[in-house]
Structure formats: C-alpha cells, structure tokens
C-alpha cells in the first residue's frame, strides 16, 4: 500500500509524575516521563498505521525508509477499483472539505461521466480517448461550450486526486490531463456607468433596494456576500465591510465566502448613510441587514427539515425584482453582477491590480484581468483622442517635408 503523511510522535508510557504533591511542568516531561517514539502513516485508503521504537533515532530511520519508498516510486501497486466505487469514496471524503456548490459540481460531472462510460469500468482502464469521446458527446447534446469546459476542469481535478494523494492511479494516468478546453467567443462585459447607477437609485424609493444597489456598485460584493451581511460586519466608523464566515446558530445561517477567503472592502459614504438609515428602522438585536426576520424564520424551519443547503436562495426572486427596478430606470439590460464588475473596473482606474484582486476576492489575478476589467466609454474616447493626436502629428510631419 502506498505510504502517505509519515510523522514521528512521542508516546507517553506512564502518567505525569508528581513532585511535592503537584504534577511536574509539561516542559519537564521529556526528561522525567517515560516514553517511546511512534511512527505513524496513512495508506491511500485512509487507514492509519503505526510502529513503536525505543529511541527517536530508530524512529527517524524507519520514517526515512518509508519516505524513500515514495521518492523512488516503490509504492505497492495501486488498488484497482471501479469508477463507481471511486465516485462514492470521493464524494464522502470531500464532503466538508470543499464548498457545497463545488461538491455539487463534482457530483454532477462525475454522474454524467459514469453514465457515459459505465460505473463498472476499472479506474486504471479509463483512457484519454474515453474522455475525448465524452466531451464530444456533451457538445453534440447541445450544451454550451462553457459548461463542457467546466466539466473538463472539474474531472481533471478529481482524477488528479486519484493520483495524489490517493494513489489509485500512477503519474501520467489522468485521462483528462491533456484534454483541451474548447474555444468560445468571449462575451462583451457590461459596464454600468455612474450615471446609470444614479438612475437605478432614483428608480426606487425602497430603502432596502437603494442600500443593496449602493453596496453592490460601491463595494463590489457578490450577491450572496451582500445578502449574508450582518450588522456585525459593518464598520461604520472606518467605512468598511467585513466579508466573513458565519457559523450556524439560532439566529445565524451557516455561510462562508467563495474560496473560503474572508476579506475587508471599502464602503462609500453614500452606502454608509443608507445602511445607517436601514439600521434605524430595523428590529432591535436582529442580526441581518437584507434578510427579514420572517425570511430567517422560514430558513431555520427548512434547516430543521433538511430542505436547506448552501445553494438555496436566502432572498427569493432577487434577479427578477432587480430587473423591475432596472427597467423603471430606463437602463439597458444588466444584472446585479454587472454592478460588482463595474466596481472592480472603477477600482482598477486608480489602484494597483494586485489590490483590486484582493478587494474583489479573487484567488487568481487572471480572473480579475479577464472577466472584470471592462473598457468604459470614457476609455474608448481617450483612445480615440490618442489616435487622433498620433495621426495629426504624422500629418504635420509629412506636410513639413
């Protein structure tokens, strides 16, 4: 069986010695408390093994030998298990380690792949040609290229885990390793101008909507991040918002930010005032800003009956209701996420890109560059002026000759 996570630990062989009626300090245990040394390691199935030694030197030698077996690839032959068994094990192991939405994506992609190739096939028998055929079949079914590319990325990551740390496949046996994502035309990114933002605020008298739109456009938060805000997250004095994990309690819904990253973002003076106005009208002691007491009560009821998960909507029909406000303002079509994208674009005009990445909550700066930095109308106008200046300068030089 392949060896993983080798560690060396003391094993105490007697209770803590007592001197003058009191246990000796922990710092004196190694010298005055009898002990041996234990080497512990885990196999690819998750089973833990251990072996005791009288001295640390012997334990370290044994641990080095185990490590050397890994380094020179002398592991036992990987376990030959079926795809169905691997899927079952993978979903059990990953539950709690990744976000609910990520696990749902993995379950979906694995389910489609199992249906295509069959759950009884051995994991090591799956070849790149099977992956290519699966991708072709998905595309032929009429799925969007982006969806198929997401399946490729998801399955590639999962089969990498089958290699390391689980040891079910050897290096180079990932059937999705060389499957290229299909090209697709990039969409035009929607930028919401400050004039359009003002139009949105003017289109509704409801304080709830005005505050939500202001936070989305000014602080660049995701929809779920906004809806899960509590008053404890708001630093009115310094005009900052803390996007942070929340544990389930009687009055809180379990939630954590995307990529498990807590962060702090700035808040405009306008957002600060709007939130202060909401707080003045809110129920005393109620934690949430945008979730009503009645809605929280319903969510807690669904939690108790097992009908609530991380993908459930804390506020129903938000996109539909935002579109009503948007149409009332006379704006061209846009989404709440376009407000976030526009906030990130605005930051990028004045702040270094790595700061923008951190404020946006992106784990990869490529995401910030590719999907969130849009060309504003004023940027295009500036480009036109630069072009005219260059061409006019060239015209003058030619005339002088």
Topology of domain 194-336 in CATH is hpI Integrase; Chain A (1.10.443)
Whole-angstrom distance, CA of residue 83 vs CA of residue 99: 23
Predicted pLDDT of residue 179: 95
> Where, residue-wise, is CATH 1.10.150 in the chain?
83-163
Q: Which regions of the chain carry the CATH code 1.10.443.10?
A: 194-336
- Report whether 290 contacts 229 (CB < 8 A): yes
Per-residue pLDDT of the chain (401 residues; tens, 9 = 90+): 455 568 888 999 999 888 888 888 888 888 889 999 999 887 655 677 889 999 999 998 888 887 776 555 444 556 689 999 999 999 999 987 887 888 999 999 999 999 999 999 999 999 999 999 999 999 999 999 999 999 999 999 999 999 988 889 988 999 999 999 998 876 788 999 999 999 999 999 999 999 999 999 999 999 999 999 999 999 999 999 999 999 999 999 999 888 778 999 999 999 999 999 999 999 999 999 999 999 999 999 999 988 888 778 999 999 999 999 999 999 999 999 999 999 999 999 999 999 999 999 998 898 888 878 877 778 778 778 887 787 776 666 666 65
> What is the reported pTM?
0.67
pLDDT at residue 374, rounded to an integer = 77
CATH 1.10.3470 fits 83-163, yes or no: no
């Amino acid at each position: 069986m392949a060896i993983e996570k080798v560690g060396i630990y003391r094993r105490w062989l007697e209770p803590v010695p007592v001197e003058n009626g009191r246990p000796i300090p922990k710092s004196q245990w190694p010298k005055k408390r009898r002990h041996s040394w234990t080497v512990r390691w885990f196999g690819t199935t998750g089973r833990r093994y251990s072996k005791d030694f009288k001295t640390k030197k012997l334990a370290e030698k044994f641990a080095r030998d185990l490590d050397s077996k890994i380094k020179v690839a002398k592991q036992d032959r990987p376990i030959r298990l079926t795809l169905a068994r691997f899927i079952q094990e993978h979903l059990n192991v990953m539950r709690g380690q990744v976000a609910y939405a990520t696990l749902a994506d993995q379950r979906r992609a694995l389910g489609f792949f199992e249906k295509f190739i069959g759950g009884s096939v051995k994991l090591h028998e799956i070849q790149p040609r099977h992956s290519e055929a699966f991708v072709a079949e998905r595309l032929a079914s009429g799925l969007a290229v982006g969806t198929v590319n997401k399946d490729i990325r998801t399955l590639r990551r999962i089969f990498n885990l089958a290699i390391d740390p689980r040891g079910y496949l050897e290096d180079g046996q990932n059937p999705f390793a060389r499957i290229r994502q299909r090209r697709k035309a990039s969409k035009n990114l929607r930028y919401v101008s400050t004039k359009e933002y003002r139009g949105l605020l003017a289109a509704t008298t409801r304080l709830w909507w005005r505050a939500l739109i202001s936070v989305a456009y000014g602080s660049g938060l995701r929809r779920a991040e906004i809806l899960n805000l509590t008053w404890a997250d708001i630093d009115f004095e310094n005009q900052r918002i803390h996007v942070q994990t929340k544990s389930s309690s009687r009055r809180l819904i379990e939630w954590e930010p995307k990529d498990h990253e807590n962060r702090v973002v700035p808040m405009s003076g306008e957002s600060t005032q709007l939130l202060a106005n909401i707080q003045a009208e809110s129920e005393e002691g109620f934690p949430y800003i945008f979730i009503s007491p009645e809605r929280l009560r319903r969510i807690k009821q669904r939690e108790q009956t097992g009908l609530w998960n991380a993908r459930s909507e804390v506020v129903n029909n938000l996109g539909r209701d935002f579109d009503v406000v948007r149409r009332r303002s006379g704006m061209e079509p846009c989404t709440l996420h376009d407000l976030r994208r526009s906030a990130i674009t605005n930051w990028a005009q004045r702040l270094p890109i790595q700061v923008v990445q951190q404020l946006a909550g992106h784990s990869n700066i490529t995401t910030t560059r590719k999907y969130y930095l849009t060309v504003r109308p004023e940027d295009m106008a500036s480009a036109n002026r630069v072009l005219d200046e260059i061409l006019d300068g060239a015209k003058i030089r030619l005339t002088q000759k």
